């Protein structure tokens, strides 16, 4: 008689059925630099804009921000993870000294092939852009207090950032409550290039307040709807 190897069966679950295979861990959303690098200007957003009804969640807040970006013509953005929430970064745009954007296609001349590119790549593109002023807007939703680092982002720092922001907010973050401790702010990064041989430098502070940046870009009005 041939000895057959014993069949090893997985232990039954508590309800008598075989255990299901464990699901793989979800992809981790890339982290935005924390605390954020020094910015040119900022503005706090009204809670009612992002949490107009209960139950308020980070996912609903993110959807309101996406809708505002769409209404204002910012059709590309990237999600990043921050402590207690998320960051949503815009595509780099060329602006006038009063913070109003150039009309397309000049508005996006810093990144004419921006679709699918990461926040790192978009910031780095500023250092190869024609002379002028450029702006990146980063919405930060968090329940953590923060103060910007003393130094603004430079080309060297930007190249060290982990590229590849998420196209959407992961369900694990979207399902979290937008609690009473959560708040939203817009961080404005304004860069200036004086000539094609000079790296772009952040203007800190900007000549224009953060709210005006949002108004000129159409975002303040879109959020307030």
Structure tokens at 186: 């817009």
Hey, where are the domains in the chain? 41-224
Query: Cα–Cα distance between 83 and 221 in angstroms, integer?
Result: 28
| DSSP-derived secondary structure for 92-153 | PEEE-TTSPBPPTTGGGGGGTT-TT--HHHHHHHGGGSPSEEEEEEEEEEESS-----SSPP
Q: How many CA atoms lie within 13 A of 111 on its CB side?
A: 25
| CA–CA dist 87, 176 (Å, integer) | 15
- Integer Cα distance of 44 and 139 in angstroms: 10
What's this model's pTM, rounded to 2 decimal places?
A: 0.79
DSSP 177: B
Per-residue pLDDT of the chain (225 residues), as tens digits, is 444 444 334 444 444 444 444 444 455 788 898 999 999 999 999 999 999 988 999 999 999 999 999 999 988 888 999 999 999 988 888 999 999 999 998 998 765 544 455 656 666 655 566 788 888 889 999 999 999 999 886 433 333 333 458 889 999 999 999 999 999 999 999 888 776 666 667 888 999 999 999 999 999 999 998
Cα end-to-end distance, the chain, whole Å: 81
């Amino acid at each position: 008689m041939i000895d057959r190897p014993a069949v090893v069966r997985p232990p039954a679950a508590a309800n008598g059925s075989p255990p299901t295979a464990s699901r793989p861990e979800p992809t981790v959303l890339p982290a935005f630099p924390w605390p954020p690098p020094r910015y040119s200007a900022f503005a706090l957003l009204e809670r009612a804009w992002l949490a107009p009804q209960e139950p308020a969640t980070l996912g609903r807040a993110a959807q309101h921000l996406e809708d505002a970006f769409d209404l204002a013509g910012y059709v590309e953005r990237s999600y990043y993870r921050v402590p207690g929430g998320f960051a949503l970064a815009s595509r780099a745009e060329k602006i006038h000294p009063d913070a109003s954007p150039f009309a397309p296609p000049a508005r996006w001349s810093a990144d004419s092939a921006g679709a699918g590119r990461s926040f790192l790549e978009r910031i780095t593109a500023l250092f190869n852009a024609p002379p002028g002023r450029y702006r990146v807007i980063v919405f930060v939703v968090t329940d953590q207090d923060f103060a910007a680092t003393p130094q603004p982002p430079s080309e060297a720092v930007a190249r060290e950032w982990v590229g590849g922001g998420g196209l959407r907010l992961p369900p694990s973050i979207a399902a979290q409550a937008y609690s009473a401790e959560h708040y939203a702010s817009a961080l404005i990064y304004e860069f200036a290039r004086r000539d094609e041989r000079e790296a772009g430098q952040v203007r800190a502070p900007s000549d224009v307040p953060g709210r005006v940046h949002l108004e000129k870009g159409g975002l303040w009005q879109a959020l307030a709807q």
